[in-house]
Structure 1
Amino acid sequence: MDLELALQTFFEESNDLLGEMESILLDAEADSTTTEQLNALFRSMHTIKGSAGLFGLDIVVGFTHEVENVLDLLRDGALRLDDMLTGLLLRCHDHVKEMLTALAAKDSLERFADTELLDELIAYNRAAGGAAAQDAAETTPPPEAPPAAAPSEPPAAPDAQKPEQWLLSLRFGPDMLRNGMDPSSFIRYLATIGEIDRIEAVTTQLPAGDAFNPETNYLRLEALYRSQEEQQTLLDVFEFAREDSEVHIWPWPPTSRQQAQTLASAAPEEAEAVLAVWLRFGLEPETAEPEAAPDESFAMEVETPQAEVVELAQEEHSTADLDPVLLVDAAQEAPAARAGVKTSGDAKSGKQAESKFIKVEAGKLDSLINLIGELVIAGAAANLVARRSQQSALVEATQTIANLIEQIRAGTLSMRMIQIGEIFSRFPRVARDVSRELGKDIQLHISGAETELDKSMVEKLGDPLMHIVRNAIDHGIETTERRLASGKPAEGHVWLNAYHESGSIVIEVADDGGGLNQERILAKAVERGLVPADSALPEQDVFRLIFEAGFSTADQVTNISGRGVGMDVVRKSIEQLRGTIDIESELGLGTTFRIRLPLTLAIIDGFLVEVAAATFVVPLEAVIECIELPAALDKDSVHDCLNLRGELLPLLRLDSFLDLPSVPAKRRNVVVVHYGDRKAGLVVDALLGEFQTVIKPLGNLFRHLKAISGSTILGTGEVALILDVPALIHHATQKEAERYALLPAREWDAGTTNTAAKTDRSAQ
C-alpha cells in the first residue's frame, strides 16, 4: 500500500470533515441546533480520530479523543451549545487543521502535544460530567418499586455496573487486504483506548496448497477486551471495515442469544472452533450452547443505552450511508444481515454513487487544457489550408473536426469549473471572528454560492475578497451605538453574492453601513498629493482613490485594517484576472463593491477584426452587434459619438488610439461592445468573423499595456493581440466626459451644438 497516497486521502477527507464541522458550528450558532447536526459534529471528529489511529498519529488521536468526549456530552444533552462552547470547538477545529498542515509539511507534531486547549477540554469534560451527575442525582426521585422488565427486554445496567470487559468477534471481509486495509491496525488502535486481555485467531477457513491466495483474508479474530468506552464507540472503530465484514461486540460473557447471532453466518467447523476459543476465555460450559437466533430484533439485548444508538442508526440509514458494523439496525434487515452481514441495498447504491466521481490531479487537467489549446490552433491552421485548396470535401472534413474540437474544448473547460462557494464558505467564520473582535453584531448573508467559475480564478479570488469583506465589517458597518443613534437596527448586515451576466461572473460585497464619504476621501487625496486641490472628479473616480497604495481614511489603526494596505492589492489582483472592480455607495446607507471577471483564463470565443493591416481579437461575449460607420462622421477625431437608436454611443478609433498608420478602406465598421451597463463603439477597418482564441500571456515588457489583455496565435501562425474591452470602454467614456467637463461655458455650448449636428447627420 502506498502510504503517501493513503495519507493524501486522509488529508483530503479530514479537511472536508473539518469544513463540515466549521459550517455546522456557525449555522448552529445562528439558529437552534438539531440532533442531526450534533450527530454530524460527533461523527466528523470521530472519523478523523479513527483515521489518525490507523496511521499511528497518537497526538492527533489524543486531542481528537478529548474533543469527541465533549461532543458526546453535547449529543447526550449534558451540554448546551452556547457561544463559549462554540468558540472552544472552533479553536479545536483550528488546532486539528494546524496539526494536519504540519503533518502534510513533514513537520514534527511534538509541539502540539502539550496545549492549553487540551487542558480546557479535559476540564470541560470533568465539569460537565460532574454537573450532569449532580443534576441527575438531585432531580431524579427514587422509584417506589422498580418496574418489571419484559422477558425480551432485560433492564439496562446502571453506569456504576457498566461492564468493562467485552467480547470482540471480528470476521473481516475476504477483500480487505486487496483494498489496502490491515486488520492489525484496528487492533493497535483498540490498544490505545483500552486493554486487550486475550486474542486468538480462528483458522478453520484457511486453505492449503495452491488454493491459498496471499491477497485474501481468511482469519477470524476473537478477543477479550477491557475498556470503559461504550459499545457504540467500539463499534465505530470499525467504520472503515465496510462491504462484507462482520463485527460483533458484546458484554462479556455473552448471552445464549448473542452467541447464536454471532455464529449465525459461520460454517459448522468455524462455529465449533469459535466456541472452543470462548471456553478457553472462561465462558461457562453450561452457557456455551447457543440458542437459535430469534426473529425479533436483538437491539434490546445490548446492555447499553439503546435509544441513542437506534436513533443514530435510523439517521444514518436514512442517508444511505449505513455503517456496516452498526448492529442495532438489524430489526429491519434479513436474518443474515442481523448477524452482521452487509446486505443493505441502500449501502450498495451509495457505493455505486460514490464510484461516479474520481479525483484528478489539477496539474493533469491543466496539461490537458494546454494540449487542447494547441489542438485549437492546429485545427485553425488546417481549416485555413483547406479553404485555400478550394476542395469542398477537405473543407467539410476540417469543419467537422473543428466542431468536435469545440465540443472537446467546452467539455474540458467545464471540468475546471467549480462552484465559487468553495471560497464563500470561509467567510462565515471570518465574519464571526472579526465582528466579535470589534464588538459588533453582524450577520453575513451568502447567495449564489453555486455559481461556477474557473478553478484557477477561484483560488486567486480568496485574498481580494477577504480584504473587501474585512473592510466592510471594520470600516463599513458602524458601531452599535452609532447605528442606533442614526435610526438603524443594532445588527449590521453584509451580503456576499455571485451571478453570471453576459459571459462574465459578477461578485458583489455589499453592506448596510455608513457608506463612503466623498468629501473626506477627496480631502485625504489632496493632502497626500494624489489630486490637485481644485479638482472636481466624478463620483466613480473619487471612489477609486481608495485603491491607491497606502490610502486610508481610518481614524485609528486596528488589527483588522486602517494601515492603508490591502485595497491596492485587491485592485492589482482583480486586474491580473482581467477583471474590473466598481464601487457604488450612498452616505449613510451602505456600499457595494462589484467585481466582474471572465469565466475562464484559458480559451475563449473571439471575434477577429482588422485595423491598419493588423489583426486583433475582441472577446465575443463582449460584442453586441456590428454596424457600418456613417461616412458623415469626422474621420480626424480620435473620440466621437454615434446616435445608436436614440442612445449616445462613444466611439474609439483603434487606429488612432493604438497609433497605427491609417490605411484607406472602402467602408469602416463599428463593433459595439459592452461591459456591465456601459457601452462603446470600436471603429475598425474590416470584420473577419468568429475565432476560437487560445489566450497566451504577454511578456513582462508588455504587462503595463492597459488596452491589451493577451495574445493568441492564428491559423497562419501570426500573432494577434486580444483587446481589453473593459479598459477600452473606460478610456472612451472617461475621455469624452473629461473633454466636455473641462470646456468653458461658451465652448461647451459650441461643442454640444457640434455633437448634436453630427448626431443628426449620422441619423440621416
Structure 2
Amino acid sequence: MKKDAARDALVQEARELLVAMEAALLQIESDGASRDAINAIFRAAHTIKGSAGLFAFDSIVSFTHLLENVLDKVRNGVVKLDDAMMSLLLNCGDYMNELVDAIAELKEEQDPDPVRRAELEATLNDYLAQAVQAQPGSAAVAPAAAAEVAMPDAPAVETDDGAVANPYWHLSLRFSPDVLRDGLDPLSFLRYLLTMGSMVYVHVIDLAIPPADDMDAELCYLGFEIGFASTSRREEIDSVFEFVREDSDIVILAPHSQLAEYRDWLQHLPEREEIALHLLQSGALTAAEWRQLQFDAIDAADAVADAGMHAEASSQVSAPMPAMRQKAGEEKKSLEQKFIKIEVSKLDQLIDLVGELVIAGAGASLVAKRKKDQRFEEATQVISGLVEQIRDAALTLRMVQIKEVFQRYPRVVRDMSREIGKNIELIVTGADTELDKSMVEKISDPLMHIVRNAMDHGIESAEARRAAGKPEIGVLRLNATHESGSVVIEVFDDGRGLDKERILRKAVQQGLVAADAGLSERDIFRLIFEPGFSTAEQVTSLSGRGVGMDVVKRNIDALQGEVEIYSNPGQGTMVRIRLPLTLAIIAGFQVVVGGAVFVIPLDLVVECINLSSHQVHNNVVTLRDEPLPFIPLRELFDLPQRESSRKSLVIVQYGPLRAGLLVDNLLGECQAVIKPLGKLFSKVKGLSGSTILGDGRVALILDVPHLIAHTGRMEQADVRRTENRMNAAND
C-alpha cells in the first residue's frame, strides 16, 4: 500500500473511531455507565494509538497512551466516571480529532494547540495520581498473580458423566510477548477480570523467562493459569481479553467441562505436566481425574513413538490454536469479507460511466425503432432493462444513512444547552433513512444552523417554561423519512413558536416588505430566510447577527430542495426540509412543449389527462369535482405556438401539494442523466438541470417544487385581485 493511501486509511478509520467514542460517551451520560460502552471508548483509543504507532505519529501516540491509562482506571472502577470526567474525555476526543486533522493535512509534526494539550495532559495526570493514592497497593496489584491463593471451602464433587469436578472457570492465559510494546499491561486485564468475580487459584507460568543477560525488559515472558469464580457468561469473560486476543493464546474452560477438553488443551502445552500437577494441588482436578490425564498422556506418547511420528507430531503442536481463538478469528475474517472500502472518486467515476451507458442505450433504442427491426428492438429492450438495473445498483452504492449527519448533534445539543443554561433533550428518529452521499455532506451545515436557532431562539429557559406550564426540559426532535420520492428532514422544538406580528414588523422596519403587503402566514415565516433578517434583541455568540438562515435557504435551493416553516405560538416550531434522493440519474417522463423537450421526474408524476374534456377557468381545471391549478409551460417559457387541437395535462405532486403542467405532447418514460445547467441558465426559475437524449439533443429538467409553488403564488395573486376589485366596487 502506498504511504499516502495508508495515511488516508488511517485518518478515515481514526475519525470513525472518534465518532464511535463520542457516541459511547454520550450514551453513558444519558443511560448510565455500562461495560460495553466503556469498552467501546477504550477500544477506540487503543486502536487509534496502535494505528498511529505504525507510522511513528508520536504526538498522537503519546497523548492517546496517557488517555488510555486513565480509561483503564475507569474500566477497573478506580476512577469515577462523573460529569467532570465525561467532559474531560469529550475534550480529549476533540483534541485527538485535531491531531488526526493535522495528519490529514501533512502537518503531523506541528501541535495544533500546545496550550490545550498541556492542560488536558495535566488533568489526565491528576486523575492518575489520585488513582494511585486511592490504591496504595496498586504497585503490586492482583496479589493473586504473585502467589498461590488458597482454594475456598467449596468441596469438589466427583462426577461420572465425563465432566471434571472443578466448579470454577479455568482460564489459561499466554499473552503475546509484544503486549508491553503495544502499550498494554497484562495485569490490567486481570484487575478488570476481578470486577466480574474472584480468583480462587492462580499459577504463574515462568518457564519462558531467559537468563538475565538475555532478558528484554520490553517483552512479556509470563503466563497464567487461573481458577475463576463468577456467574458471568463465557462471552462476558472472553470480552475482557478482546484487546489482546489476536496475538495471544486465551483458553477458557467452563465449570465442570469435559475431561476431554482439559486433555485437548494440555496436550499442546510444553509445561503440561507442571500445570496438571498444579490443577491437582489446587483442587481443580481430583486424583482420579489427574491419573486419567496422566494415563492418556502416556498412551498418546506410546502411540506416537510406535508410529515413528514423534517429530511430526511435535511440529504440529508447537503452535497451538485454541478452539475459541480460532473460531473468533474465523468470525472476524467472515465479517471482513462482507464489506470493502473504496475511494469516493472511483465511485463517482462508476456513476459517470453508468450515465454515459444510459445515454448510449437510449440512442441504441432510438435507432432500433427507426430501423423497425423486431429482433433489434427486442435486443435493445433487454439491454435497456439491464442498464436500468445497473443504474439502480450503482446509485445504491452512493446511498448512505443520514445518521452520519445526525450523530454529531447529541454532542452539539449537550455543549450548547450548557452554554446557554437550558436543559434540552434531543430525540432522533429515522437516522437509518438513506440519502445520496453528496447530499448528506451538503445538508450538514444548513441543518446545524437550524438546530442552533431552535435551541437559542425557540426553546425557552426553564423559568419561562415553568411559567407557561411546560416541563422544564425542552424537547428537540430530529426526524428523517422517505416521502413521494424525496427525503424529508424535520427539526421540531416545543418552544415558544414564531411571533408573526413581530416578524412582519421587523421585516417592514428593514424594508423587506411593504406594510400593506397582505402576506399569508407561510410567506411571513419565509421572511426569516431573507439576508440580514433577525428578530434577536441582542447579539450573542450563537445568533443575532442576521446571518445563517439565508445561507440555509441558499444551500437547500442549490440541492434542488425546499424548506418550509410551521409554527404555533406557545407550542413550538417545525422546519421541514425536502430533498431529492439523488442528483445523478433519475427516472424521467418526457413531454413536448412548443417543439422543445422537457423531462419531469417520474416519481413526481401522478397521472396524465386530456385537457379538452375538462372544465377550465383562469388556469384552474376541475378534476373529479375538485379545482386543480395548472401552468401552461408554453406561456411560462415563452415558446412558439404549436398547431394542435389536443393538449395534455401532466398532474404532478410534491409533498401534499398538487398542480398541473400543460404540455403539447407526451413522449413517455426515460432515464435522465442530470447535467448542470451552467451559468447562463443557473438563475432560470422552474429548471433544475439538463439531460442528453438518445438522439443527441439536450432536454431541460423541470423543477417541479418551484412550479408547484408558482401555482400557489398565482392563486394568491388572483385572490388579491378579486378582493381589490370587490373593494373598489364597494367604494
TM-score category by the smaller chain?
A: 0.7 to 0.9
- Does structure 1 residue 63 correspond to structure 2 residue 63? yes
Aligned position for 2:370: 388
Task: Give, as a single letter, the amino acid of the residue that structure 2 aligns with 1:701.
Answer: L
Task: Give, as a single letter, the amino acid of the residue that structure 2 aligns with 1:543.
Answer: F
- Give the 3 Å change call, closer, same or farther, for CA 686–16 of structure 1 in structure 2: same
What is the CA-CA distance between 1:322 and the residue it aligns to? 8.2
Aligned ranges 1:133-148 → 2 under 5 Å? 133=136
Aligned position for 1:214: none
Residue from 107, 115, 118 that aligns with 1:115: 118
Tell me the distance in 1 between the aligned counterparts of 2:593 and 2:446: 36
Q: Percent identity of the aligned residues?
A: 47
Aligned position for 2:487: 505
Aligned position for 2:78: 78
- Does structure 1 residue 349 correspond to structure 2 residue 331? yes
**Alignment deviations for residues 46-96 of structure 1 (CA, whole Å, 9 cap, x no partner):** 222222223222222221122112211211112222221111100000011
- Give the 3 Å change call, closer, same or farther, for CA 329–524 of structure 1 in structure 2: farther
Aligned position for 1:41: 41
- Does structure 1 residue 330 correspond to structure 2 residue 309? no
Kept in 1, the 8 Å contact 2:401–2:431? The answer is yes
How many residues are aligned here? 628
Tell me the distance in 2 between the aligned counterparts of 1:591 and 1:31: 28
- Does structure 1 residue 690 correspond to structure 2 residue 669? yes
**Alignment deviations for residues 120-150 of structure 1 (CA, whole Å, 9 cap, x no partner):** 11112212432454999xxxxxxxxx99702
What is the CA-CA distance between 1:256 and the residue it aligns to? 8.2
- Does structure 1 residue 315 correspond to structure 2 residue 239? yes
Where 2:546 maps in the other structure, the secondary structure is coil
Tell me the distance in 1 between the aligned counterparts of 2:392 and 2:268: 47
Kept in 1, the 8 Å contact 2:249–2:321? The answer is no
- Give the 3 Å change call, closer, same or farther, for CA 327–87 of structure 1 in structure 2: same
What is the CA-CA distance between 1:424 and the residue it aligns to? 0.7
Kept in 1, the 8 Å contact 2:614–2:623? The answer is no
What is the CA-CA distance between 1:748 and the residue it aligns to? 8.8
Where 1:404 maps in the other structure, the secondary structure is helix
Tell me the distance in 2 between the aligned counterparts of 1:555 and 1:308: 59
Aligned position for 2:344: 362
What is the CA-CA distance between 1:736 and the residue it aligns to? 1.1
- Give the 3 Å change call, closer, same or farther, for CA 630–69 of structure 1 in structure 2: same
Where 1:700 maps in the other structure, the secondary structure is coil
Task: Give, as a single letter, the amino acid of the residue that structure 1 aligns with 2:225.
Answer: F
Aligned position for 2:394: 412
Task: Give, as a single letter, the amino acid of the residue that structure 1 aligns with 2:672.
Answer: T
- Give the 3 Å change call, closer, same or farther, for CA 104–524 of structure 1 in structure 2: same
- Does structure 1 residue 742 correspond to structure 2 residue 721? yes
- Does structure 1 residue 149 correspond to structure 2 residue 158? no
Where 2:5 maps in the other structure, the secondary structure is helix
Answer with 39-48 or 649-658: which moved more: 39-48
- Give the 3 Å change call, closer, same or farther, for CA 749–106 of structure 1 in structure 2: same
Tell me the distance in 1 between the aligned counterparts of 2:547 and 2:703: 27
Aligned position for 1:231: 187
- Does structure 1 residue 10 correspond to structure 2 residue 13? no
Tell me the distance in 2 between the aligned counterparts of 1:597 and 1:340: 57
Task: Give, as a single letter, the amino acid of the residue that structure 1 aligns with 2:75.
Answer: R
Tell me the distance in 2 between the aligned counterparts of 1:47 and 1:745: 72
- Does structure 1 residue 545 correspond to structure 2 residue 527? yes
What is the CA-CA distance between 1:552 and the residue it aligns to? 0.6
- Give the 3 Å change call, closer, same or farther, for CA 235–396 of structure 1 in structure 2: farther
- Give the 3 Å change call, closer, same or farther, for CA 169–348 of structure 1 in structure 2: closer
Tell me the distance in 1 between the aligned counterparts of 2:367 and 2:357: 15
Aligned position for 2:690: 711
Aligned position for 2:458: 476
Aligned position for 1:164: none
Aligned position for 1:216: none
TM-score of the aligned structures, taking structure 2 as reference length: 0.80
Tell me the distance in 1 between the aligned counterparts of 2:102 and 2:129: 30
Answer with 123-132 or 451-460: which moved more: 123-132
Kept in 2, the 8 Å contact 1:629–1:669? The answer is yes
Aligned position for 2:282: none
Tell me the distance in 1 between the aligned counterparts of 2:671 and 2:384: 10
Kept in 1, the 8 Å contact 2:647–2:664? The answer is yes
What is the CA-CA distance between 1:37 and the residue it aligns to? 1.2
Aligned ranges 1:374-385 → 2 under 5 Å? 374-385=356-367
Aligned position for 1:94: 94
- Give the 3 Å change call, closer, same or farther, for CA 133–443 of structure 1 in structure 2: farther
Where 1:379 maps in the other structure, the secondary structure is helix
- Does structure 1 residue 299 correspond to structure 2 residue 206? no
- Give the 3 Å change call, closer, same or farther, for CA 309–109 of structure 1 in structure 2: farther
Tell me the distance in 2 between the aligned counterparts of 1:405 and 1:492: 50
Where 1:701 maps in the other structure, the secondary structure is coil
Kept in 1, the 8 Å contact 2:533–2:546? The answer is yes
Tell me the distance in 1 between the aligned counterparts of 2:384 and 2:713: 40
Aligned position for 1:30: 30
Task: Give, as a single letter, the amino acid of the residue that structure 1 aligns with 2:129.
Answer: R
TM-score of the aligned structures, taking structure 1 as reference length: 0.76
Aligned ranges 1:181-220 → 2 under 5 Å? 190=181
What is the CA-CA distance between 1:730 and the residue it aligns to? 0.3
Where 1:449 maps in the other structure, the secondary structure is coil
Answer with 323-332 or 589-598: which moved more: 323-332
Tell me the distance in 2 between the aligned counterparts of 1:478 and 1:710: 42
Kept in 2, the 8 Å contact 1:299–1:331? The answer is no
Aligned position for 1:266: none
Residue from 501, 518, 525 that aligns with 1:536: 518
Where 2:722 maps in the other structure, the secondary structure is coil
Task: Give, as a single letter, the amino acid of the residue that structure 2 aligns with 1:739.
Answer: D
Tell me the distance in 2 between the aligned counterparts of 1:659 and 1:522: 35
What is the CA-CA distance between 1:745 and the residue it aligns to? 6.5
What is the CA-CA distance between 1:742 and the residue it aligns to? 3.3
What is the CA-CA distance between 1:355 and the residue it aligns to? 1.4
Task: Give, as a single letter, the amino acid of the residue that structure 1 aligns with 2:662.
Answer: V
Where 1:738 maps in the other structure, the secondary structure is helix
Tell me the distance in 2 between the aligned counterparts of 1:744 and 1:612: 35
Task: Give, as a single letter, the amino acid of the residue that structure 2 aligns with 1:69.
Answer: N
- Does structure 1 residue 701 correspond to structure 2 residue 680? yes
- Give the 3 Å change call, closer, same or farther, for CA 59–570 of structure 1 in structure 2: same
Where 1:488 maps in the other structure, the secondary structure is coil
Aligned position for 2:129: 126
- Does structure 1 residue 666 correspond to structure 2 residue 649? no
Where 1:744 maps in the other structure, the secondary structure is helix
Aligned ranges 1:275-294 → 2 under 5 Å? 277-278=210-211, 281=214
Tell me the distance in 1 between the aligned counterparts of 2:211 and 2:648: 93
Tell me the distance in 2 between the aligned counterparts of 1:395 and 1:479: 69
Kept in 2, the 8 Å contact 1:707–1:725? The answer is yes
Aligned ranges 1:495-644 → 2 under 5 Å? 495-630=477-612, 633=615, 639-644=618-623
Tell me the distance in 2 between the aligned counterparts of 1:135 and 1:232: 10
Tell me the distance in 1 between the aligned counterparts of 2:407 and 2:132: 34
What is the CA-CA distance between 1:357 and the residue it aligns to? 1.1
Where 2:696 maps in the other structure, the secondary structure is coil
Tell me the distance in 2 between the aligned counterparts of 1:75 and 1:525: 56
**Alignment deviations for residues 216-257 of structure 1 (CA, whole Å, 9 cap, x no partner):** xxxxxxxxxxx9x44357999xxxxxxxxxxxxxxxxx9785
Tell me the distance in 1 between the aligned counterparts of 2:148 and 2:6: 52
- Give the 3 Å change call, closer, same or farther, for CA 257–524 of structure 1 in structure 2: closer
Task: Give, as a single letter, the amino acid of the residue that structure 2 aligns with 1:674.
Answer: Q
Tell me the distance in 1 between the aligned counterparts of 2:215 and 2:47: 34
Kept in 2, the 8 Å contact 1:36–1:315? The answer is no
What is the CA-CA distance between 1:5 and the residue it aligns to? 3.0
Tell me the distance in 2 between the aligned counterparts of 1:150 and 1:702: 86
Task: Give, as a single letter, the amino acid of the residue that structure 1 aligns with 2:633.
Answer: L
Unmatched tracts of structure 2, length 5 or more = 140-146, 155-172, 193-201, 255-260, 270-318
Tell me the distance in 2 between the aligned counterparts of 1:256 and 1:35: 28
